[in-house]
Structure 1
Amino acid sequence: MKCIYFSLRCIGLMLLMLASTAGAAKRQLPGDIVRMLSSYNVIWDTPSRSGSLESMPVGNGDITANVWVEDGGDLMMYIGKSDTWSEATRLLKVGRVRVSLSPNPFKNGIFSQELNLINGEILITAGSGADRTTIKVWVDANSPVINVDASSAKPTSMTCVTEIMRPHDVTFTGGGGHPLSASYTGVRDSPVPPSESADVLVPCKDRVEWYHRNTSSMFRTILEKQNVGELADKYADPFINRTFGAAITGKGMIAVNDSTLASERPAKKQNVSIVALTAQTDNVAQWQSRLDDILKTVGSIPAKTAYMRHCSWWDNFWNRSWIFLSGNENARIVTEAYLLQRYMIACQGRGAYPIKFNGGTLTFDYKGKNGDYRNWGPGYWYQNCRLYYWPLTASGDSDMKKAWFDMYMNNLALQSDVTRKYYGHDGAFFPETTNFFGLYIQDDWGWNNTGKASQTRWIRYHYEGALEMLAEMLEEYNHSRDEAFAKNYIVPFATQVISFFANHWPTINDRYRFIPANSLEQYWDCLNPIDYIAGLTHDINELKKLPENIVGSKLREEWDNCLRRLPPLPKTPDGKRLLPAEEYGVDRNFENPECYTIFPFKLYGMGRPDLDVALNTFNHRKFKHSNCWSQCAIQAAILGQSQLMEEALLKNATARDPEVRFPAFWKPGSDYVPDLDNGGVLATAVQHMLIDNLDGAIILLQALPDNWEADFKLRAHDNTVVRAKAKGKTLKELQVTPRSRANDVIIPDNNK
């Protein structure tokens, strides 16, 4: 098979280059980058023998598809979307679709399935000569539609079937011991068992249509159980009447039955389009009317025009930034991991809600569970989600952070009301584990909890997330200098978050005494945890740099007072190492809170004061593992520790389940597959290896291994774009835009 694979790959790359030129005549991406990126296309020369375990992802930022070809059978798709929340609060699949061709080209002969990164599409080839068939699967980057385009050397017939995933109403009554309980995390302990209604097939003549509609909701119950039921009428219920589904259409195709669309006659070219929609409507007819409108809009755009616009979007995406590493096999493996992680985020990063850390919308059949299942359920864990959002700023993908920032901003008013109700003071706290609409994950809060803090001690006083979210926003502003973003996001968020910390704990001798408090999940009931102090120190110092027309004198005074009252960062008696807190108990998890001063809060690092303290702290950290949410690779890069960083990166890049075929469907780790925070750590570390920012300076190559070469284009502060080629600490080429910023480039000497 090696010879066949090699020829298919060579032919595929040549066809790809031609298709790329035809699909995007005004391509922005330089030719050498096109060639390098194409060399990382994922190519398979056999169909999938284990179903969706061997699927390949494609998406448009909101709608995704896991695509696979059954061995000797049909083309299959799991369809995902960012806003398909069920009445039981779970994020479900839109559906599962089967596409069949007759005669069947997949029965035998040559086969190739290729992820064409350049155009964000999957290309499938089966057979040869008179029996050759090619299929292109692409999710329109500009419209909510999946396209399946088939072309055969001789006429074929196409059949498309929706395989309803939820044919019956389901009530979850299993509790914590049930095999599916982890998927219901948040509501599995509910005294009233959560339920999900059946999907509905809609009889149609010219299409296949189905939907899921929430006729019940747990929203009011959750608010009441968290002792803020009076707020249920103030805030819109995000679950009730939420309807999501899809319609399958195709030129020259008719509905054979409610679930099957088939071509009227054989043809050499066949196409089906799958349009997906989520909306909260008073009735199903309104949802169907919106679906009709989308179908008309999509149908009014010529297919060639839609495809060219789609290719142009992906061309623009890949031209925003890139990283290609070489020099040894480790560098190649890390490059592949970085590119595929970025691609997966692009497939699902522009939806209405943030990407879920535990699989995103790309879950599949795994360990006996179907694509609706995910460990840790529907909630958002801040410590996990942040890790694949941090690298989006330097890569130029800030548009994909919007849903992440919006979720916290949209929940700010509710969290402010809850803070006032619980504690009687100003400000807003954000739970570490939260629903997309705010509040605690209900199982963490407790179903019979009448108090003012969650029943679980893991996150009872874990408030670092809001401080890090503010740090993320500030980093975004430092890059863009977007004053509207600062006014509408940073200032209101900072006002409430810092107010919470300023009002929630007592002061003794004009110093805050942060107790009770968590130091992450690692230590419970601490005194003066370092993540609180480092986060506030970093954030307030950055906030003070905002222009006066954005931040008035009153706010500046409040923030100065908060900064002045902070206790010092906890250290060992000799001052040579940082500690997790002034007082802390036994280990509860596998985190190193003291290293949060390196990342995410960057009080220490290359070019910053007291590097020896940071190195001592990092080298004495208790937990030195990689994978999943461990930050060791990022912190090593910031400290210029090339060898350790390379070792950690390789562990992240090879964190794979051998049963799962796509190389970036990271193994579950502590989460679920694909474990997106594993790839997020890798991406963030690789970027910091190459570029960092400090007080107006651009630090390059602070951790690039001596035997690695890099060709990269990344973003720096102040709307700066850096393109460079280097080996180790030797810069071979440098292009900085604007040119004036070239004077700010620094390459540190790690030997000093």
Structure 2
Amino acid sequence: MPCGGGDVGLNVWVEQGDLLFYVSRSGVFDENNVVPKLGRVRVRLSPSPFEAGGSFQQELKLNEGYVEVTGKKGKLNVIIKVWIDVFKPVIHVDINGSSPVSAQAWYESWRTVPGELKGNARSASSYKWAKPGIAVFPDSVRYENNGVLFYHRNRDSTVFDAIVSQQKLEDVKSKLWNPLKNLTYGGWMAGTGMVADKVISGGKYADTPFTGFGLKSKSPSRNVKLNIYLHTDQQKDFAVWKKGLFEIVAKAEPTEWVKTLEWWKQYWQRSYIALNASNKDSASPVWQVGRNYQLFRYMLGCNAYGTYPTKFNGGLFTYDPVFVDSSYHFTADHRNWGGGIFTAQNQRLVYWPMLKSGDFEMMKPQFEFYLRILGNAEIRTQHYWGHKGASFTEQIENFGLPNYAEYGSKRPAGYDPGLEYNKWLEYLWDTSLEFCLMILDQQHFTGTDITRYLPLIESCVVFFDEHYQYLAAQRGAAKLDQNGHLVLFPGSAAETYKMAYNSVTTVAGLKIVLERMVALPSQYGSEAQRTHWKEILRRVPPLSFREMQGHRTIAPAQAWERIQNTEIPQLYPVFPYGIYGIGQPDLETAVNTWKYDTEAIKNRNHTSWHQDNIFCARLGLTEEAAALTIKKLQNSGRRFPAFWGPGHDWVPDHNWGGSGMIGLQEMLMQTHADSIYILPTWPDDWDVQFKLHAPLNTVVEGEWKGGKMVNLKVTPENRRNDVICSKCVANRF
């Protein structure tokens, strides 16, 4: 089961009497942009209450954010509490026995010697299939101060250097931000009353040989505390990194337990959705939806303060791949679709639900990710095409350049070096617009100052305005069409409609983001900037429509060359861009698109990043939304019920869980401008207690029970007049 806090995640389990856990942390990347585990820890007690013949229980204490393991054998009772300090990167293992026990602990590493990624194992790195063999450099592990010091320091040459060379950016290399250079990560494991023990080599867990560096109790005790202190930093001097690590050791205090408990308490009080809470039935798919919504939100909370956003393909909680795919005999560092690669189509679904759950501070890692790589995206635009704007391609590295493998190593002579030579990703620029809208939405929800992010938002829209005029000028004398609109060609509607003309995702994204920019309070942007935003908005072409089975529907583009993936971009004006929805004009056209577009029907799916449940919720299709939400959020079939996947990605599939959360929220509450629609797509027979956040610092709490609204509280009270509830008496409560 998962356990985490701050930016640290553990997979915790008990096996053959030993407590084990994998350690992960946000912002850890090796030379190949793999996100490696920081290691595995094994704890063994003597005498042990966990051996055969005793009683055993392991429980995730959700409200308090920790894992408790209890065992009883004979007269010996032991409670082990595993928790992570939310405010400092420190893992605590607190062991309390009814009588004295001796403890042994091992830091286990499978990276003490050089290795190599081959075959499908390469997909954990940024090189993926584009390099036959990928060298894995060893970590350093040794005893120090009666503890185990472990760390990895990236070598001078990393995938950053390979990508800069591949993508012909050597001339501007000195200007590019490089997060991998001198990156050092690791930690120190020590225990109270524990000393260094022997090293055990030749061990093997699942498919992976390992070496264990042991500690042991000097004498039996009723109370044993084992701590793992973590540190990550970019430093030229290793001594500076090491000093930083032991400063964390010196500042760690037991009193942080109280602060961590309080943080989790506030987290759960901030927002919740509980289904059929008064009638617990673990076999009921509807009850599972409510329970698993909370479990997945817990997993997101474990990376509240990460230096990098929670990864869509496993987050902090990946584990031995052989338990995902029996043919994958790789280390626990593995995940499909890379570690340092951020695929926006998937990442967005992890972060959208944080708006209505009120987890605004947790959105910062995703926003800061784009802000950090903004400079590199603008430099590549200027270098290749000589104009302004940030060109964010799909599948970008953590430094903002296209992924090594997806960019394409076998490219035709003379092919534009600014483009990915890739039939799935070519001309797919518009995914960054969703994160721009996410930032604008947070401002609308909270009133928080987003001045810091305005250059990012502006650069994203300026890119489209300047780049497509640039392309038009390469083809002919006119930069705009006869109506004064941009000609958004070549483009892409998601990865599905390729070489598109006026893609629906690009048009909708530009239209909504620019409208929201213009509507910002006057403190944002100068008069000249605002005039420019309005000019760009006027140049955005309209959406396109087509007739399908006798009904007017939204078209994926004005024209396209081919269809090749399974997305439904023609409904992106419904979600994320909200042009159509409850309480808005012409909803029928959007509903027709779901019902009658044969291409959309063919691509319906509930797994992984598919967002059909969200579409149906926003379209007011209650029966369909409920059925799809159950498929999204019912038990995963794995030991931990919210470890969904692999879907299209990996286990646990975080964009699967995120899209499930969004759909459930939208069934309960939708917002348009300042209006709040309660229970717009909610089944009468689903009892629910909820607390969600809405624009203008509004919180809505309610209970629907037995087909009636029995309680509704709106804070502040003056926002009650903006609440619309068609299920409530006289459409108002």
> By the TM > 0.5 criterion, same fold?
yes
Separation (CA, whole Å) in 2 of partners of 1:207 and 1:262: 10
Give the distance between the partners of 2:307 and 2:5, measured in 1 at CA.
13
Q: 1:422 to 1:729 in 2, by over 3 A?
A: farther
Deviates further, 361-370 or 94-103: 361-370
Q: Are 1:62 and 2:7 matched, yes or no?
A: yes
Question: Secondary structure of the residue that 1:348 maps to in structure 2?
Answer: coil
> By how many angstroms is 1:356 displaced?
1.2
Counterpart residue type for residue 571 of structure 2: C
The answer to whether the 8 Å contact 1:696/1:717 transfers is: yes
Residue 191 of structure 2, aligned match among 246, 250, 254:
250
CA positional deviation for 1:642: 1.3
**How far off its partner does 1:537 sit?**
1.3
Residue equivalent to 2:393: 431
Change (3 A) 1:671 1:227: same
Is the aligned partner of 1:371 residue 2:332? yes
Q: In the alignment, is residue 456 of structure 1 matched against residue 422 of structure 2?
A: yes
| Letter of the structure 2 residue corresponding to residue 179 of structure 1 | N
Instruction: Decide which of 488, 501, 516 is 2:452's aligned counterpart.
Output: 488
Q: Does residue 360 of structure 1 match 2:326?
A: no
CA offsets 1:532-566 (integer angstroms, 9 cap, x no match): 11111111111111112213322222222222222
Shift of 1:81: 0.5
Deviation of 1:170 after TM superposition, in Å, equals 2.1
Q: Contact 2:555–2:570 (CA<8 Å) still a contact in 1?
A: yes
Q: Tell me the CA shift for residue 122 of structure 1.
A: 0.5
Q: CA deviation at 1:73?
A: 2.4
Map 1:283-432 to 2 at 5 A: 283-298=237-252, 301=253, 303=254, 305-326=255-276, 329-367=284-322, 368-378=329-339, 379-432=341-394
Q: For residue 500 of structure 1, what is the amino acid of its counterpart?
A: F
Distance in 2 of aligned mates of 1:171 and 1:148: 33
2:642 to 653, 664, 669: 664
Partner of 1:196: 136
Task: Give 1:538-577 correspondences, 5 Å limit.
Answer: 538-572=512-546, 576-577=552-553
* 1:274, distance to aligned residue in structure 2 (A): 0.7
Q: Deviations over 1:682-728 (max 9, x none)?
A: 10011111112112111111111111111111110011111111248
CA contact (8 A) 2:582 2:670 kept: no
1:87 alignment counterpart = 31
Query: Which position in structure 2 is the counterpart of 1:643?
Result: 623
User: Counterpart of 2:95?
Assistant: 150
Do structure 1's residue 478 and structure 2's residue 448 form an aligned pair?
Answer: no
Deviation sequence 1:50-105 (CA, Å, 0-9, x none):
xxxxxx110113111111100x3200010001111001111111111111101122
Answer with 453-462 or 222-231: which moved more: 222-231
Which one of the candidate residues 418, 430, 433 is aligned to 1:467? 433
Contact preservation (8 Å) 1:701, 1:729 = no
- Is residue 599 of structure 1 aligned with residue 575 of structure 2? yes
2:208 maps to what in 1? none
Contact 1:655/1:667, CA 8 A, preserved across alignment: no
CA distance in 2, matches of 1:655, 1:731: 28
| 1:425-461 deviation line (CA, Å, top 9, x unaligned) | 1111211110111010011112354623111021111
For 2:554, the equivalent position in structure 1 comes to 578
Contact 2:177 2:376 in 1 (8 A): no
User: Given the alignment of the two structures, is residue 113 of structure 1 paired with residue 92 of structure 2, yes or no?
Assistant: no
Deviates most, 425-434 or 127-136: 127-136
1:678 paired with 2:678, answer no
Structure 1 runs, 4 residues or longer, greater than 3 Å off: 185-188, 727-730, 748-752
Residue 503 in 1 paired to residue 451 in 2?
no
In the TM superposition, residue 188 of structure 1 has moved relative to its aligned partner by: 4.3
Alignment of 1:210 onto 2:135: no
Matched residue type, 1:306: E
Aligned to 2:689: 711
State the distance in 1 between where 2:551 and 2:386 align: 38
Query: Structure 2 residue aligned with 1:528, among 502, 505, 515?
Result: 502
Q: Residue type matched to 1:555 in 2?
A: Q
User: What residue is the counterpart of 2:75 in the other structure?
Assistant: 130
Segment of structure 1 superposing worse, 619-628 or 82-91: 619-628
CA deviation vs aligned residue, 1:89-148 (integer Å, no higher than 9, x gap): 111111111111011221121110000001000011111551211111011112211111
* Bigger Cα displacement from structure 2, 250-259 vs 136-145: 250-259
Q: 1 CA distance for matches of 2:682 and 2:706?
A: 5
3-state SS of the aligned residue for 2:502? strand
The answer as to whether partners of 1:701 and 1:728 remain within 8 angstroms in 2 is no
Give the equivalent residue in structure 1 for 2:202.
none
Partner in structure 2 of residue 271 of structure 1: 225
Alignment gaps of 5+ in structure 2: 200-212, 323-328, 473-479
Question: What corresponds to 1:226 in structure 2?
Answer: 167
- Give the deviation of 1:314 after TM superposition: 0.5
Q: Decide whether the 8 Å contact of 1:697 with 1:745 is kept in 2.
A: yes
How many Å separate the matches in 1 of 2:439 and 2:318? 29
Paired with 2:676 and 2:107, the residues of 1 have a C-alpha distance of 52
For residue 670 of structure 1, report the CA deviation from its aligned partner.
0.3
Q: Is the 8 A contact 1:729 1:747 kept in 2?
A: no
Asked if the contact 1:637/1:703 (under 8 Å) is kept, the reply is: yes
1:626 alignment partner, SS class: coil
Provide the C-alpha distance between the structure 2 equivalents of 1:691 and 1:413, rounded to a whole number of angstroms: 37
Q: Which protein has the bigger strand share?
A: 2
Structure 1 728/589 Cα, relative in aligned 2: closer, same or farther at 3 Å? farther
> Matched residue pairs, number?
682
The offset of 1:729, in angstroms, is 7.2
1:22-41 correspondence to structure 2 within 5 Å: none
CA separation in 2, counterparts of 1:533 and 1:436? 27
Which segment drifts farther, 355-364 or 727-736?
727-736
* Equivalent position of 1:631 in the other structure: 611
Query: What secondary structure is seen at the aligned counterpart in 2 of 1:577?
Result: strand
SS in 2 for 1:693: strand
Q: Distance in 2 between matches of 1:730 and 1:160?
A: 55
SS at 1:115's partner residue? strand
Structure 1's 129 and 257: CA in aligned 2 closer, same or farther, altered over 3 A?
Answer: closer
Give yes or no for the alignment of 1:700 onto 2:699: no
Kindly indicate whether residue 125 of structure 2 is the aligned counterpart of residue 184 of structure 1: yes
Partner residue in 2 for 1:97 = 41
Residue 615 of structure 2: SS of its match in structure 1? helix
DSSP 3-state at the match of 1:438: coil
SS in 2 for 1:572: strand
Q: Which amino acid aligns with 1:137?
A: V
Rounded to whole Å, the distance in 2 between the matches of 1:439 and 1:97 is 35
Deviation at 1:306, TM superposition (A): 1.9
The equivalent residue for 1:515 is 489
Q: Please say if residues 169 and 198 of structure 1, whose CA atoms lie closer than 8 Å, have aligned partners that are also in contact.
A: yes
Deviation of 1:225 after TM superposition, in Å, equals 1.2
For the residues of structure 2 that align with 1:575 and 1:551, how far apart are their CA atoms? 42
- Could you report, residue by residue, the CA deviation over 1:177-229 in whole angstroms, capped at 9, with x for unpaired residues? x13122224354248x5422111112324211111111232212211211212
Within 2, Cα distance between the matches of 1:313 and 1:268?
Answer: 29
Distance in 2 (CA, whole Å) between partners of 1:665 and 1:512 is 44
Instruction: Provide closer, same or farther for how the CA distance between residues 655 and 532 of structure 1 changes in structure 2, counting only shifts above 3 A.
Output: farther
